[in-house]
Amino acid sequence: MMNDLTLFDMPQNNNYTPRITRLLQGRDSVIEFNSIRERFPWMFEENKKCILSPDSDGLLCGLFMSYYFHWEIIGFYDGKVMVLKNDKTAYDEDVVFLDMEICRRGIKSVGHHMLLLNRNNIPRVFYTGFRDCLQPNLLRDYDGQHDFRLKYPLATIHLLLAIIGHFQTIRIPETAITPLFFADGTFQVLYGYPENVLNWLDYLGIQNNESVLRQVFMHEHYTVYSQILAMDDFFRRRDSISIARERGDRLRISNPDGTPANLEHDGQFYKISDDAVERIKRFILLLSYTTGWDFDEHKWHFQSFQLKRFTKGDFQGRGWRINGESYSRLMELNPLSWAMTSGTNIEFTIETPDTM
């Protein structure tokens, strides 16, 4: 009878190897933390200024770096609009973009999107524009043509935790698991792409007993059911901040057509509207409460901004298919930032009408 059979009694197809398993064969390297610190020393310096992507991952990154290194949040960038403290520029030595790669020589950034199409044909701009970009897919020479299914599956905050946590003690309380699973939909990815997640966790050093990632992914705080309950509670708290067409875990600074949103004139400069600031502060306080990373309001700026507007496009909107020819056309546009969001589309930002 079927009930008497075990899994190992079932007929096995020994000739079949899943494609993801084949792709991961030989991909067993581990990040070289000392090399990262030598190449990107600014990641470990105090009192830097940062520009965040205005979503939960970017906000977590800002909160984390503000708490551990006293970084100051001086602006936000979403690919269409950037607001930046009026006395600063993106090229300043002490300015870093968090959770968004910027392809410009002299600009520092940290992100995790798929950027390169073909590692056998690397555009020259990669060697200059991304010289100061800390990026996991680039660290492993991953490209969209060969490795899209192997791209980094976690959030930028997990990358920061792994790297910073290698050099100093970081404590992750039980309550921090929910926001760290919430960022960039990590909780969905864990069970949807387990082989790739495990491979990246190994790359980030989770097999080291001292890895801070063990506190996030190898804890015994939750059963599956209690984790679902905790995530549901976090979602409900987020929803209590949301309003029509604006989720509570994001600071909306642009509309779908690229026009600014939630921005008001502040003398000769701009500020985030009071209502939008009140909502996003509530969410940051939720992140602070759950992570234990103090929210120092004096280090977060929401006014006296200069406003920069850019043009966002994508391959599908231009009728382009992803191939070497269309990617070369993209490089000719000299994009400010871009991301391969699927196997059939690349979203990108052009410096027009304004420049960085």
Condensed to tens digits (0 to 9), the pLDDT of residues 38-57 reads: 999 999 999 999 999 999 99
User: What pLDDT is recorded for position 3?
Assistant: 56
With beta carbons less than 8 A apart as the criterion, state whether 54 and 73 touch: no
11-33 b/e (C-beta count within 10 Å ≥ 16 → b): eeeeeeeeeeeebbeeeeeebeb
Show the tokens assigned to 47.
């009192």
Average pLDDT over residues 264-293: 97
pLDDT above 60: residue 7: no
Cβ(338)–Cβ(125) under 8 Å? no
Res. 5: pLDDT tops 60: no
The mean-pLDDT minimum among 4-8, 217-221, 227-231, 313-317 falls in 4-8
The structure tokens listed for 67 are: 């708490």
Structure confidence at residue 9 (pLDDT): 57
C-alpha distances in angstroms, 141 versus 4, 126, 197, 322, 327? 48, 12, 17, 19, 17
- pLDDT recorded at residue 262: 98
Question: Which pair of structure tokens corresponds to residue 61?
Answer: 């990154």
Residue 83, burial from CB neighbour count under 10 angstroms (0-12, 13-18, 19+): buried
Q: Which two tokens stand for residue 35?
A: 């090399």
Alpha carbons 142 and 137: distance in angstroms, whole number: 5
- In the structure encoding, which two tokens stand for residue 313, read together? 């496009």
What is the band of 23 on the pLDDT scale with cuts at 50, 70, 90? Answer: confident
Give per-residue pLDDT as tens, 307-335.
999 999 999 999 999 999 999 999 999 99
Return phi, psi of residue 204, to 5°: -80, 5
Integer-rounded Cα radius of gyration of the chain: 21
pLDDT (0 to 100) of residue 1: 45
Average pLDDT over the chain, rounded to an integer: 95
Q: Is 333 helix (H, G, I), strand (E, B) or coil?
A: coil
Residue 26 pLDDT level (bands cut at 50, 70, 90): confident
How many C-beta atoms lie closer than 10 Å to residue 283's C-beta?
22
Strand pairing category for 311-314 and 345-350: antiparallel
For residue range 60-82, what is the model confidence (pLDDT) as tens digits? Answer: 999 999 999 999 999 999 999 99
Across 144-170, average pLDDT: 97
